[in-house]
Amino acid sequence: MKNYILALDEGTTSTRSILFDRAYNVVCTAQHEFPQIYPRPGWVEHDPMDIYANQYATMTECIAKSGVSPSDIAGAGITNQRETAVVWNRHTGKPVYNAIVWQCRRSTALCEALERQGCGDMIAEKTGLKLDAYFSAGKIKWILDHVDGARAQAERGELLFGTVDTWLLWKLTDGAVHVTDRTNASRTLLYNIHTHTWDRELCDLFGVPMCMLPEVRSSSEHYGVMHLMGADVPLCGIAGDQQAALYGQDCVHAGDLKITYGTGCFLLANTGETPVRSRHGLLTTVAAACAGEPVQYALEGSVFVGGAIIQWLRDELRLIKDSADSEYFARKVRDSGGVYIVPAFAGLGAPYWNMRARGTITGLTRGAGADHLIRAALESIAYQSEDVIAAMRSDMGGAIGNLKVDGGASANNLLMQFQADISNVTVIRPAQKEATALGAALLAGKAAGLPPVSADTPHTVFRPAIPEEERIKLLRGWRKAVKACLLSEETND
Ligand code: ADP
């Protein structure tokens, strides 16, 4: 019986390896940052070889540091930055171009042209996504159109496409396995989330030869074996980062919701076996499920400026020295004194979708001080999250259960209590902070035959504690502030 499970967490700025024991406690971690390549404003690339080399290095470092024998590792799971596209030669194993990263805007014009042709609705219906440069299809087309000879090679079946999970899996199995999972496939704009197949019409639209595409499998099953420090380790879990976090937070039933409070906030609500089409601009995506289990779906929304507003207080306004100090100062006042901050630094996302709105502060009085501003900044994270939760509630017909939280800013107790109050939900914060890596480990552990994680893991609970009238009053103030923010955009024109 083997005792450990390895999670490979391939993020946007760093790769990490995290070794868990069979009770899913973290035993050891190793992390390497890798270079970001910005060839032009708005363009972002990674060197796929850097991704692979760094991931490999963190694996060996993590295992060596832990003192665990590689032959005692039951399996490994991959979780990854989603949508990022890699195209490589199947014979040489060399990428034909850098990985084009999810943040890269270079296919905006293509997406806008397709929108003008009226393709947006068909694409949303099939993929659950918006027609946007964020997703993989436009990135693949760009590579095939701009790299000398790439399209002809692709059509001859010499090139392979993969999101980062696929690229890593292929490299780690010495080119034996060309596979992705449904959570990653569902972020490409080429995958039909209802039929669970690559879609010929979409591939034709984006000019992507279907022979480049990986086989799509579940998120927990045996994909292949990697030879690692003298041992054979099964690769048996894959999920995109947000879906891995959803799984790691045990949000496996309809109505379960998780928020990752990082620089931005990512909200995913499990909608069970039903793909819910949003009427508020949320995305429909595939949630992680194991082989032989029914496919599950999720609604996804994000808040662009989450913890970043606290960095702004720190770096631009210099009101605090450290993000964590925000709680200390916010507690010095009873409330925000009627001050609201709408941190629309780069527009407002769901459910407003106004990219030209800009940040606004309302309700300033002579008595408003730094502590009120700090409190209002923290509250803005919760209000924006509540806007997405309200959209999810409306799309799902009201069925939201408990809210599980993770990410850097979830450490803030005042913010978590305010979220519980303003959203009228119970917020649960697990002591185990590695939700994304844990999700990958759980998926791999399940396929490797390890027992599931114990149900009574330590956590902190924040229950709603303000009267309903108070909640309504606060939300009314927030809506007025958002209105002011949206109005300011219109008069700027
Ligand atoms: P990312 O993965 O996006 O880099 P993290 O999960 O590491 O983000 O979280 C970092 C973000 O959380 C930063 O924006 C930081 O300002 C914010 N943050 C961290 N700790 C706290 C805290 N105690 N209170 C409020 N915000 C915090």
Question: Which region, left, alpha or beta, applies to residue 259 given φ > 0 means left and ψ of -120 to 50 means alpha?
Answer: beta
| 59-68, 110-119, 146-155, 172-181: least confident range | 110-119
Q: Mean pLDDT, to the nearest integer, of 23-38?
A: 91
Task: Quote the domain boundaries for residue 331.
Answer: 251-493
Do residue 164 and residue 80 come from a single domain? yes
* Ligand 1 atom 15, closest CA: 307
Q: Tell me what pLDDT residue 297 has.
A: 96
Q: Are strands 159-162 and 45-46 parallel, antiparallel or unpaired?
A: unpaired
Q: Cβ(326) to ligand 1 under 6 A?
A: yes
Per-residue pLDDT tens over the stretch 371-424: 999 999 999 999 999 999 999 999 998 778 889 999 999 999 999 999 999 999
Atom of ligand 1 nearest to the CA of 308: 14
The pTM is what?
Answer: 0.92
* Ligand 1 atom 2, closest CA: 262
Q: Mean pLDDT, to the nearest integer, of 452-463?
A: 84
Per-residue pLDDT tens over the stretch 322-341: 999 999 999 999 999 999 99
Q: Cβ(323) to ligand 1 under 6 A?
A: yes
Q: How sure is the predictor about 487, in pLDDT bands with cuts at 50, 70 and 90?
A: confident
Q: Answer with the one of 180, 213, 239 that is the final residue of a domain.
A: 239
Ligand 1 pocket, mutate which of 12, 15, 310 (most atoms under 8 A from CB): 310
Q: Cβ(313) to ligand 1 under 6 A?
A: no
Residue 371 lies in a domain: yes
Q: Tell me what pLDDT residue 482 has.
A: 96
* Contact partners, residue 331, CB within 8 Å, separation at least 6: 414
Q: Cβ(308) to ligand 1 under 6 A?
A: yes
Alpha helices (H) in 147-199, listed in sequence order? 150-155, 164-172, 182-185
Compute, in angstroms, the gap from residue 264 CA to the centroid of ligand 1: 9
Cα separation of 427 and 327, whole Å? 17
Q: Mean pLDDT, to the nearest integer, of 351-375?
A: 92
Residue 354 burial by Cβ neighbours in a 10 Å radius (0-12, 13-18, 19+): middle
Do residue 307 and residue 231 come from a single domain? no
Q: Tell me what pLDDT residue 453 has.
A: 80
Do residue 235 and residue 261 come from a single domain? no
Residue 245 lies in a domain: no
Residue 144 lies in a domain: yes
Q: Are 44 and 271 in contact (CB under 8 A)?
A: no
Do residue 34 and residue 166 come from a single domain? yes
Q: Tell me what pLDDT residue 491 has.
A: 54
Q: Answer with the one of 211, 239, 267 that is the final residue of a domain.
A: 239
Q: Cβ(320) to ligand 1 under 6 A?
A: no
Compute, in angstroms, the gap from residue 310 CA to the centroid of ligand 1: 8
Q: Tell me what pLDDT residue 483 has.
A: 94
Do residue 222 and residue 329 come from a single domain? no
Question: What is the number of other CB atoms lying within 10 angstroms of the CB of residue 312?
Answer: 17
Residue 320 lies in a domain: yes
Between these two residues, 370 and 451, which has the higher pLDDT value? 370
Q: Answer with the one of 184, 210, 239 that is the final residue of a domain.
A: 239
Per-residue pLDDT tens over the stretch 34-63: 888 899 888 889 999 999 999 999 999 999
Residue 21 lies in a domain: yes
Q: Tell me what pLDDT residue 195 has.
A: 95
Angle subtended at Cα 5 by Cα 182 and Cα 269, rounded to the nearest 5 degrees: 40
Q: Tell me what pLDDT residue 239 has.
A: 97
* Ligand 1 atom 9, closest CA: 408
Q: How sure is the predictor about 490, in pLDDT bands with cuts at 50, 70 and 90?
A: low
Compute, in angstroms, the gap from residue 365 CA to the centroid of ligand 1: 29
Compute, in angstroms, the gap from residue 307 CA to the centroid of ligand 1: 5
Residue 246 lies in a domain: no
* Contact partners, residue 190, CB within 8 Å, separation at least 6: 127, 136, 137, 198, 199, 202, 203, 206, 208, 213
Do residue 276 and residue 199 come from a single domain? no
Per-residue pLDDT tens over the stretch 418-450: 999 999 999 999 988 889 999 999 999 999 999
Q: How sure is the predictor about 238, in pLDDT bands with cuts at 50, 70 and 90?
A: very high
Ligand 1 pocket, mutate which of 265, 266, 313, 323 (most atoms under 8 A from CB): 323
CATH number (domain holding residue 326): 3.30.420.40
> Which tokens sit at 189?
């704009």
Q: Tell me what pLDDT residue 349 has.
A: 83
What is the overall mean pLDDT for the chain?
93
Cα separation of 118 and 433, whole Å? 43
Residue 335 lies in a domain: yes
pLDDT at 354 over 90: no
Q: Tell me what pLDDT residue 348 has.
A: 86
Do residue 342 and residue 423 come from a single domain? yes
Do residue 317 and residue 193 come from a single domain? no
Do residue 279 and residue 317 come from a single domain? yes
Do residue 8 and residue 150 come from a single domain? yes
Q: How sure is the predictor about 478, in pLDDT bands with cuts at 50, 70 and 90?
A: very high
Do residue 128 and residue 255 come from a single domain? no
Q: Cβ(64) to ligand 1 under 6 A?
A: no
What's the half-sphere exposure (Cβ side, CA atoms, 13 Å) at 115? Answer: 12
The kind and range of the H/E element at 317 are none
* Ligand 1 atom 23, closest CA: 324
Compute, in angstroms, the gap from residue 380 CA to the centroid of ligand 1: 14
Do residue 285 and residue 139 come from a single domain? no
171-207 burial, b if ≥16 CB within 10 A, otherwise e? bbbeeebbbbbbbbbbbbbbbbbeeeebbeebbebbe
Residue 244 lies in a domain: no
Q: How many domains does the chain have?
A: 2
Q: How sure is the predictor about 142, in pLDDT bands with cuts at 50, 70 and 90?
A: very high
Which among 116, 162, 114, 158 is positioned nearest to 136, based on CA atoms?
Answer: 162
Per-residue pLDDT tens over the stretch 61-99: 999 999 999 999 999 999 999 999 999 999 999 999 999
